[in-house]
């Protein structure tokens, strides 16, 4: 493989292999609430306590999971090639803990919380930060309440201009563990195809947009990606 501009997009599947739970029961509910009803600006205004407890539970779970082989393989890919943009739909920190740098979290991050007044975010992962009580910022003279630093349904994903610029100029576009249901992420493969990029899918099963990819690998990303990255690296000229 010659030196190329690479974009990698990861979805929930890569985190699921590390044991990250969806927080839905068999009825698709969390504490008798539809998950969509605890992940919207309207839900925060209606009952911030319910939304806060939902995300605090997810934040606590970060302490229980570890990166898998797929996370480590992508960090290796970044170390081997100069131009690798890693974009994730996931809000965990498994890519960073797997060794990746400069990860674009288009849906936000669980490790950080955002001041409702200033919009600034801060890392808050100490033991005292993970309880169910509201937390307050350190950036305002009169501390303001913090909200999850997450892109909720109805909000615009983060750094979309940077993401589109990378996809529209890449030579290789790789998607790992994405269902193809969530937009605008699911549409990025089409932008890559229009640019003439080689598009690769690594997924546990065929997603709804599988037909858009030129190369498909079905199976666990933690098992497939280390081998694929080794092949891509060894074929580099």
The per-residue pLDDT string of the chain (237 residues; one tens digit each, 9 = 90 and over) reads 457 899 999 999 999 999 998 766 666 667 777 877 889 999 999 999 999 999 999 999 999 999 999 999 999 999 999 999 999 999 999 999 999 999 999 999 999 999 999 999 999 999 999 999 999 999 999 999 999 999 998 899 999 999 999 999 999 999 999 988 888 988 999 999 999 999 999 999 998 899 999 999 999 999 999 999 999 888 765
| CA torsion, ordered 35, 38, 43, 45, to nearest 10 deg | 180
State in Å, rounded, how far the first CA of the chain is from the last one: 6
The question of whether 206 is a catalytic residue gets the answer: no
Q: Rounded to an integer, what distance in angstroms lies between the CA atom of residue 15 and that of residue 90? A: 8
Same domain, 12 and 95: yes
Same domain, 162 and 92: yes
Q: How many distinct structural domains can be found in the chain?
A: 2
Contacts of 27 (CB under 8 A, 6+ apart): none
**Gyration radius (Cα) of the chain, Å:** 18
Same domain, 41 and 124: yes
Residue 1, pLDDT score: 44
Same domain, 136 and 34: yes
Same domain, 131 and 25: yes
Structure tokens at 192: 């890559």
Sequence length of the chain is 237
Could you list the residue range(s) of the whole structural domain that residue 168 is in? 5-20+66-107+157-234
Burial label, 200 (beta-carbon count in 10 A; 0-12, 13-18, 19+): buried
CATH of the domain at 75: 3.40.50.1220
Same domain, 126 and 213: no
Residue among 33, 83, 107, 198 flagged as catalytic: 107
Strand 33-34 and strand 29-30: the pairing is antiparallel
């Amino acid at each position: 493989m010659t030196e190329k501009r690479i974009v990698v997009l990861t979805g929930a599947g890569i985190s699921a292999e590390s044991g990250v739970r969806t927080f839905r029961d068999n009825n698709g509910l969390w504490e008798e609430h539809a998950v969509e009803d605890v992940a919207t600006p309207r839900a925060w205004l209606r009952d911030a306590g319910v939304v806060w407890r939902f995300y605090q539970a997810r934040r606590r779970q970060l302490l229980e999971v570890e990166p898998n082989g797929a996370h480590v393989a992508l960090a290796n890919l970044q170390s081997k090639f100069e131009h690798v943009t890693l974009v994730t739909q996931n809000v965990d920190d498994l890519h960073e803990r797997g060794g990746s740098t400069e990860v674009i979290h288009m849906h936000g991050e669980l490790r950080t919380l955002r001041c409702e007044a200033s919009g600034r975010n801060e890392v808050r992962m100490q033991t005292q930060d993970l309880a169910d009580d509201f937390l307050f910022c350190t950036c305002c003279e009169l501390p303001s309440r913090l909200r999850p630093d997450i892109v909720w349904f109805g909000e615009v994903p983060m750094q979309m201009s940077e993401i589109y610029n990378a996809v529209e100029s890449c030579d290789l576009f790789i998607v790992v563990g994405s269902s193809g249901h969530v937009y605008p992420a699911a549409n990025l493969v089409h932008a890559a195809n229009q640019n003439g990029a080689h598009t690769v899918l690594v997924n546990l099963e065929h997603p709804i947009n599988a037909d858009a990819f030129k190369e498909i690998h079905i199976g666990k990303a933690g098992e497939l990606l280390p081998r694929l990255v080794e092949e891509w690296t060894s074929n580099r000229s």
